[in-house]
Structure 1
Amino acid sequence: MSEAIQASSAPKPVGVYPHARRVGDLLFLSGIGPRDPATNDIAGNEYFADGRLRKYDIEAQARAVFANVRAVLTESGARWEDLVDVTVYLTDMARDFKSYNAVWAEHFADPSTAPCRTTLGITALPTPIAIELKCVAVLRRAED
């Protein structure tokens, strides 16, 4: 009835769950962050010598998240244009929304073709990241 998908070109999940699950014509992506698939480094993060986070770059993280979402979509047989709903989690809405929104506009310039979007401000994510995306895509049939 459903198929779990592990995308080799995306960062490994931080828990026991698939990158995505296909159910009929829908593709549900697990929360995806800005970690580098090869190194596990977090785009835009700078640390103090003791390992504590010093600062982060939300634009770098947003671009990395989009690249990771695109990787999962591609390995799942979907395209960027197949996204229909995106939930965005930001750990600092007041500081980061404007910059994040600008990066979003680079990737979705036309509101008539952009997916629906909900953006939530939250207190923390499971790793030192400032953004995570939860996405739903519609899988196209060969004749579409």
Structure 2
Amino acid sequence: MIDSNKKFESTKAPEPVGLYPHARQVGNLLFLSGVGPRERGTKKIPGVELDEQGNILSYDIEKQCHSVFNNIRAIVEDAGSSWAQIVDVTVFLTNMKEDFPIYNKIYAEYFKDNQPCRTTVEISSLPTPIAIELKVIATI
């Protein structure tokens, strides 16, 4: 019988913004919840400038990409997997036209050796003032 109740919380990745774990293992697969670029223990989002009401004034997609990839790495490693074992990535961008070329270049640097399947979609917004979120599946 497969134990589908094995949940993982990373001590390095940002705390979830809702009632969900960072990751869940089912058999030899590790499913990550959506992960953004926030920093653990703060509300700080690398490369994002907000006004007093929390609206985005400006953002740097390059800084957000590096931060989200680092958060993903922390979660898969804390769960006992690795970057090389990522097999599927779903990417959510809030501005495909402007951000995709930058994101795609940075993605190619991080996934040069391991090339998982990938889907990239544009969405109107995310639950926090971020421009990118990743949903990942890895083997473990």
- TM-score category, normalised to shorter length: over 0.9
1:87 and 1:129 map into 2 onto residues whose CA distance is 16
Is 1:69 the counterpart of 2:72? The answer is yes
Q: CA deviation at 1:50?
A: 5.1
**TM-score of the superposed pair, with normalisation by structure 1:** 0.91
**TM-score of the superposed pair, with normalisation by structure 2:** 0.93
Output the aligned Cα RMSD: 1.1
Question: Superposition pairs for residues 1-144 of structure 1, below 5 Å?
Answer: 1-2=3-4, 3-49=6-52, 51-110=54-113, 113-139=114-140
Task: Indicate how the Cα distance of structure 1 residues 7 and 91 shifts in structure 2: closer, same or farther if over 3 A, else same.
Answer: same
Q: CA deviation at 1:49?
A: 5.0
1:80 and 1:27 map into 2 onto residues whose CA distance is 12
Q: CA deviation at 1:51?
A: 4.0
Superposed CA deviations along residues 56-92 of structure 1, whole A, max 9, x for unmatched, are: 0011001000000000001100000000000000001
2:21 and 2:52 map into 1 onto residues whose CA distance is 34
1:4 and 1:128 map into 2 onto residues whose CA distance is 26
Q: Percent identity?
A: 53
Q: CA deviation at 1:135?
A: 0.2
2:21 and 2:82 map into 1 onto residues whose CA distance is 18
Large movers: runs of 4+ above 2 Å: 47-52
User: Any idea what SS the aligned residue of 2:72 has?
Assistant: helix
Matched length = 137
2:27 and 2:14 map into 1 onto residues whose CA distance is 25
- Which runs of 5 or more structure 1 residues have no equivalent in the other structure? 140-144
User: Any idea what SS the aligned residue of 2:71 has?
Assistant: helix
1:7 and 1:135 map into 2 onto residues whose CA distance is 15
- Which runs of 5 or more structure 2 residues have no equivalent in the other structure? none
